[in-house]
Chain A
């Protein structure tokens, strides 16, 4: 068991400051043989350890279709993430275990319209899937990304969003909560924009959403109002996790282990779980 909990070393290739409190760490394994074996699906997560400070769970925010590296976007929140932000520099070593968890139902969404609804750092797990889908663009129909943040400074992946905007086959809708002078896009919270601006097609559409709990709550309500079936709404959950192996019991909700049976759930599955998250 202890052997399963030992991380492998990875090197920080690049650090990208996304917003004042979010940084993206581009990682490469030091050992090439691990690097070759390491493959993941969009939606899976890794245990990222800063040796000496502890372990944290982060989703992989890049797609396996872009080879040779993987990204973790980390928001400064607790003690370990604060240490990660202050201590780590490009070229430093960190420990990585994983990938763990399930992934977005890639087969189910094939041939469907896709609507991504993200808020704040919640775009990170979606980005993995977005990249995957862009790389396999032929498999999917309409492609809409709705992304909101508190202020324009809090929008992650700005460069990449610009690229997506240039891509004519993708519809990108950005929004921020409060008006700003230089801001030309939409203003308003995500659920409102979803109903008033995006006006998604209901039939043959899958919605993939992730964001802060309060956003998820209202987005799910407005998706309900728009008439989406709960099984067509996919989200990823966050719980405090430590082992990622289904042993430590921390992420238990009912008889479900979020780290093994999740973190990706459909709204239908979520409804069946006890109200404890």
Chain B
């Protein structure tokens, strides 16, 4: 799965035709074979663009940033990214006319160790669902699989589950990276950042972590697209997808 050349060509063409102001893609991070997202507004940087199975981060997250707001944006989306993009479109957060979307028929991405990501194994719709141009050959819808870990946890006893989650909330350092890297958390001011939220009020305790993660999960219930940006961003490596996935329907 290497579409670097095609993406470079498309981006160069878009810039040349003046169709976009900003292009959001991936580039190599410069020291190993992992990639980082890049926001470019200069056609000169186009040759740095790449796309392989290491292109992990969900780029639709950048549509909520200042660099792309009210600008014409070209971006690359995989299956899961396109789902979150679709949600942003339905929730009127971005204008379709402003976007030029390069969809990827995704074959699954790999983590830093080279293993296929769990969410890619379980992905139902690996092809981009919204796009202007499609790269790769679409493979259609797959059957729904319940995440094995979640299924395993659900049959566990009450006390075991409680112990498991207590550990998660204890290890949470409350940096809110999950929220900020979630493409669907686009609120200008999050409800847990409101000064009037007296129950929460931002102190860094475990019960606050519980409160924040619960609220976050509930707000994403039924919306989460399983891109796992949150898990990638978490500095404590917490498997927070458990909270959300359970509430998917």
Which A residues have a C-beta under 8 Å from some C-beta of B?
52-54, 78-80
Contact = CB atoms under 8 A, between A and B. Distances in A.
A81 to B, nearest CB: 11
Contacts of B195: 54, 78-80
B198 interface: yes
B137 to A, nearest CB: 53
A112 B201 CA distance: 48
Contacts of A53: 198
Interface string B182-203: 0000000000000110100100
Contacts of B201: 54
B155 to A, nearest CB: 43
B29 to A, nearest CB: 30
Interface of B: 195-196, 198, 201
B199 to A, nearest CB: 11
8 contacts: A52-B198, A53-B198, A54-B195, A54-B201, A78-B195, A79-B195, A79-B196, A80-B195
A196 B195 CA distance: 44
A54 B196 CA distance: 11
A233 B195 CA distance: 36
B203 to A, nearest CB: 11
A78 B201 CA distance: 15
A15 to B, nearest CB: 23
A257 B198 CA distance: 29
Contacts of B196: 79
A79 B196 CA distance: 7
A52 B195 CA distance: 11
Contacts of A79: 195-196
Contacts of B198: 52-53
Nearest to A80: B195
Contacts of A78: 195
B194 to A, nearest CB: 8
A52 B196 CA distance: 11
A48 to B, nearest CB: 16
Contacts of A80: 195
A35 B201 CA distance: 32
Nearest to A52: B198
Given A52-B198, A79-B195, A79-B196, 5 more contacts: A53-B198, A54-B195, A54-B201, A78-B195, A80-B195
B110 to A, nearest CB: 39
B92 to A, nearest CB: 29
A54 B200 CA distance: 13
B116 to A, nearest CB: 43
Nearest to B194: A79
A35 to B, nearest CB: 31
Nearest to A79: B195
B198 to A, nearest CB: 7
A198 to B, nearest CB: 40
A80 B194 CA distance: 12
Contacts of A54: 195, 201
B205 to A, nearest CB: 15
Nearest to A54: B195
Nearest to B201: A54
A57 to B, nearest CB: 15
**In the complex, the 5 A-B pairs of residues with the closest C-beta atoms, listed nearest first:** A79-B195, A79-B196, A78-B195, A52-B198, A54-B195
A43 to B, nearest CB: 28
A266 to B, nearest CB: 34
A54 B195 CA distance: 9
Contacts of A52: 198
B197 to A, nearest CB: 10
A52 B198 CA distance: 8
A213 B63 CA distance: 33
A218 B196 CA distance: 35
A54 B198 CA distance: 10
A105 to B, nearest CB: 36
Nearest to A53: B198
Nearest to A78: B195
A198 B195 CA distance: 43
B208 to A, nearest CB: 15
A203 B201 CA distance: 52
Nearest to B195: A79
A54 B197 CA distance: 12
B200 to A, nearest CB: 13
A241 to B, nearest CB: 16
A80 B195 CA distance: 8
A72 B198 CA distance: 25
A79 B189 CA distance: 15
